[in-house]
Every structure is written in C-alpha cells, then in structure tokens.
Amino acid sequence: MLLEVENLNVYYGAIHALQGVSFHVEEGEIVTLIGANGAGKSTTLRTISGLLRSRTGHIKFKGQDISMMPADQIVRLGISHVPEGRKIFAPLTVKENLLMGAYTRKDPNEIERSMQRVFASFPRLKERLNQLGGTLSGGEQQMLATGRGLMSRPTLLMMDEPSMGLSPILVEEIFNIIKDINSQGTSILLVEQNAQMALSISHRAYVLETGRIVLSGSAKEIAENPRVKEAYLGV
C-alpha cells in the first residue's frame, strides 16, 4: 500500500477538525476526497504533508510512519502537495517557480529532465518561461503550481482544488492533464469541489462530512449514491 492514514484526529485549538479519519491510496490510483467547505479535506492533505500535526493516529507512506516527520523530509520521500489557491511565487519567473519545486534535488541533469517532462504536460509554461508568475492567468498559474509539484519527482501528488476559479474549458484541460500524469505512474490524492469531474477520473473516493469519513467506495459507486447525487452532484 502506498499511503495509509489511520485514525487521524486533528485539532485547531478547541475545534476537532478531523475525527478518526482513515483511508488509503494504492500505487497507481487516483483517489478523491469530496465534501463541503469546512469538511476537513484540506486539513487532511496538510496533515499528510507535515504542515499540521495530528494529536492521534498514524500516516504511513510505503510502510514507513511519517506522522512526526518534518515537511521537507516528507517531500524527499516522494509526496508533493499542490496547495489550494495555487500559492505560486508571484515575483519569481515561471522557471524560478519550477526550480523551487526541485529544491530537495541535487543533480542538475535530472532536474533539467524533470523540467522537460513538465513542459511536455504544460507546453504553455515553456512559452512563458521568463514571465513572472504573478502575471499568468488563473489557468496558467494552476499549471505552474502543478508543474512545481511535479519537479520533486513525487510518487504521490496531492492536489487541493485544482479547478477552483477556472473556466469550464480550462477545468476539462486540467483534469485531462491529471489523468495523463497518473497514466505515467504518479498516484494522485485529489481534493475537489467539482465532484462530478473528480469522480469521472478517479478510481476510488471518500466522502468527508464535518471531519469524518461517511462514505467510501469505487468512484462509480460514490457517483451513483443517491445521497452524493443530491448533496454534491446537483442531481
């Protein structure tokens, strides 16, 4: 098993944000966490990537317990986090943003190869290599944030709301790229408000409500669940 999350309990002060959350991601999968705003989806990703600490529970990656590891060490092990709101470095160029994603790596030839792989997925970034990140469109910034996440050569790419604020055409493009990244061997843990699109490309899914997982199953089962249809798919 690639990622195993067991009984996570996370607090913000007195607020019990994650309540006994358990799930897993197998190698080669796209797994989606869906839920309303405030359900705990982003908190889950931030805890896995070492930005938050759980009070109880364990996170195992490739069988190794990473629950108390610092965030930079977790990146070195092979987990990359593309945060909500993109969080690119606006004053830096596209190239400099991408190189920031490779800060844990040392071999310049390998870094260059990774950059070329990013350009194969995102040709627009190559065209804008020396442009400042802050001057890119929303869609291009999402591509840059994803490309930056890929520069650490992750085994598991965690993506938080990649379609947020994008036009329908760009949403489709981003999801096609996510499928393509996955087909090249990167497992993906996806947090996404656009449940319909997320479920259409995922293998499995979990539904989070107020810090608890209330449903799990194949993406098809979740998409056909009457409760999910009503709450998240607008059916």
User: What pLDDT score does 86 carry?
Assistant: 80
DSSP H helical ranges for 33-130: 41-48, 71-77, 94-101, 108-121, 123-127
- The pTM assigned to this predicted structure is 0.93
User: What pLDDT score does 3 carry?
Assistant: 98
Residues of the chain with pLDDT under 70: 235
User: What pLDDT score does 102 carry?
Assistant: 93
Question: Spelled out in words, what is the top-level CATH class assigned to the domain 1-78+156-235?
Answer: alpha beta
On whether the CB atoms of residues 186 and 158 are closer than 8 A, the answer is no
Q: How many residues does the chain have?
A: 235
Q: What are 5's strand-pairing partners?
A: 23, 59
User: What pLDDT score does 235 carry?
Assistant: 58
User: What pLDDT score does 160 carry?
Assistant: 94
Map out the domains of the chain as residue ranges: 1-78+156-235, 90-153
User: What pLDDT score does 27 carry?
Assistant: 97
